[in-house]
Chain A
């Protein structure tokens, strides 16, 4: 069964007014359960908008989104989602453990159950020693790991991430990518991942969705299909470089039709 079924989605802001913006037109995308899909494209191609539509934080102007066989809204109300953003979005008045417990509080779990799950999640992201620290006492990479632990705390079937590693330095970023992959492998979570970085998209994904701007649409879908488990050796793999080239060329095609900005090509 596909985890996400997107059919003929269009999204316009300020509909019918002189300043109408067509953020997305005619998006069709099917994401299989357990699949890792990245959305990449220049600024203004609507990749974040698409993510927010899947999360039901926005309602599409037209078209349908089916998540786990139900409407996106129902999926949100059932807490099928975990979300992570570029800003870790941790509450600075809560300790690390309490931050992870937040979605569980909203679900109405009792205290012992919440604490047990928080401990489990902290072990997963290797931050057990920092349970009672406050977020501002942690480095950026550690904060982001807490945010991921929080997103995964409800064991969501779907993880939606909007440039979660965008604010991290290159070393931390590669480390986080490997950790994210092993977490997802262990939990079988479906991931939709918005990024600006081509290597990041290729390294993480089963498929890379290349989007083009004004109006936002799917330009090409690159099948990554690298054999075997991904690890640091993958980054030196010839197939890895071929796929990076493929995504880059797809983005160049976008560039010919419109000026590309904001793509990291490293």
Chain B
């Protein structure tokens, strides 16, 4: 067996064993103490409901996933545009950055309640705006950092070669910002899914995973609610994995590794 596959087993096996043991313990506790289904459903029941309702869950996941994806793309785009403006104009940076950091610290997604008032009750727009806002600030702060925190030697060297500001931007600042962008996307991808779910708690159409979870709990269909939670987990996980894969493609070799070591 090659050392590579051995190291893969070494990194995958412990969490896999722990996960299986955890689910088994859950099942045993529910069965052993004879817990009522409205208190805690056993994993076997949740899995059964998941397979029974797979079409409904998939439909709801498409609604939430579309909201998350549109918000993610739009927020990432706007965040990048703004970060270029910030790195170009110092005063704008001094103005916006503290605000962006402060806004990152407060749960701005409650704004969705206000946004719901502004659009039709069945509109998906408020949820998408909400995801856009959350992603926008994450991307803005990180990419702006990547564009400005370049190694001074690099800039000095470019200047000694009589490079223009545009050349320094294209050949130093933008390549330097690429790993920062992918770090931001890796944080934003799960955050966009979470924001899409939470936005559904504030009313509007009952068509996404978040609203299905609440409505099933309200109807005491505990196991079905858990099945939707499982669907939500899988959706968030798939967003994260895609962003992680993209990072590997866009930053070849040990580039990402190197950047992490530097931090």
Contact = CB atoms under 8 A, between A and B. Distances in A.
Contacts of B156: 52, 57, 83, 85, 89
Interface stretch (A16-24, A31-39, A73-81): A73-81
Interface in A28-87: 52, 55-57, 76-79, 81, 83, 85, 87
Interface string A108-135: 0000000000000000000000000010
Interface in A81-101: 81, 83, 85, 87, 89, 91-94
Contact of B162 (A77, A85, A89): A77
A106 B167 contact: yes
A55 B160 contact: yes
Given A102-B171, A136-B258, A93 B178 contact: yes
B253 interface: yes
Nearest to A136: B258
Interface in A147-173: 154, 160
A85 B258 contact: no
A108 to B, nearest CB: 11
A140 interface: no
B167 A92 contact: no
A79 B114 CA distance: 58
Given A92-B255, A93-B255, A83 B162 contact: no
Interface residues of B, number: 23
B184 to A, nearest CB: 17
Given A85-B153, A89-B153, A91-B172, A76 B160 contact: yes
Contacts of A83: 156-157, 160
B175 A93 contact: yes
A41 B161 CA distance: 27
Interface string B35-49: 000000000000000
B255 A103 contact: no
Nearest to A135: B258
A199 B181 CA distance: 46
A94 B160 CA distance: 19
Contacts of A92: 255, 258-259
A91 B175 contact: yes
A91 B255 contact: no
A99 to B, nearest CB: 11
Contacts of B163: 106
B151 interface: yes
B258 A89 contact: no
Residue in A85, A93, A102, A154 with the greatest tally of chain B CB atoms within 10 Å: A93
Interface in B25-66: none
Interface residues of A, number: 26
A102 B153 CA distance: 15
Nearest to B262: A92
A229 to B, nearest CB: 30
Contact of B254 (A76, A87, A136): A136
Contacts of B254: 134, 136-137
24 contacts: A56-B160, A57-B156, A57-B160, A76-B159, A76-B160, A77-B162, A79-B162, A81-B161, A87-B153, A89-B151, A89-B154, A91-B154, A91-B172, A92-B255, A93-B178, A93-B251, A93-B255, A94-B175, A102-B161, A105-B171, A106-B158, A106-B161, A106-B162, A137-B253
Interface of A: 52, 55-57, 76-79, 81, 83, 85, 87, 89, 91-94, 102-103, 105-106, 134, 136-137, 154, 160
Interface of B: 151, 153-154, 156-163, 167, 171-172, 175-176, 178, 251, 253-255, 258-259
Given A87-B151, A91-B171, 20 more contacts: A55-B160, A76-B160, A77-B162, A79-B161, A81-B161, A83-B160, A85-B156, A85-B157, A89-B153, A89-B157, A91-B154, A91-B172, A92-B255, A92-B259, A93-B178, A102-B161, A105-B171, A106-B171, A134-B254, A154-B161
- In the A-B complex, list the 9 residue pairs whose CB atoms are closest, starting with the nearest: A89-B153, A83-B160, A93-B175, A77-B162, A103-B161, A136-B258, A106-B161, A87-B153, A85-B153
